[in-house]
């Protein structure tokens, strides 16, 4: 599913983002999600969500 993410670190950020969606708490806000994850910086996670050129076909 993450094969279309070719930039360095974006596959890791995808994993962090999916984990953040599944954890308890506010799921649509990047700031609390990044705070819960203890991994990516809020800015890196926000950049991933707003700019990732993933292919939607494998995700669907």
- Cα(20)–Cα(55) distance, rounded to whole angstroms? 21
Examine the pLDDT at 10 and tell me if it is beyond 70.
yes
Number of H helices, E strands in the chain: 4, 0
pTM of the model: 0.69
Q: Are 45 and 30 in contact (CB under 8 A)?
A: yes
Q: Which residue has the higher pLDDT, 53 or 9?
A: 9
* Domain edges within the chain: 10-22+29-48
**For residues 22 and 26, what is the distance between their CA atoms, to the nearest angstrom?**
10
Least confident residue range of 7-11, 48-52, 53-57: 53-57
């Amino acid at each position: 599913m993450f094969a279309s993410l070719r930039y360095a670190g974006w596959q890791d950020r995808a994993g962090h983002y999916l984990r953040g969606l599944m954890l308890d708490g506010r799921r649509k806000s990047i700031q609390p999600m990044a705070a819960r994850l203890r991994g990516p910086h809020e800015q890196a996670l926000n950049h991933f969500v707003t700019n990732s050129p993933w292919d939607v076909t494998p995700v669907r």
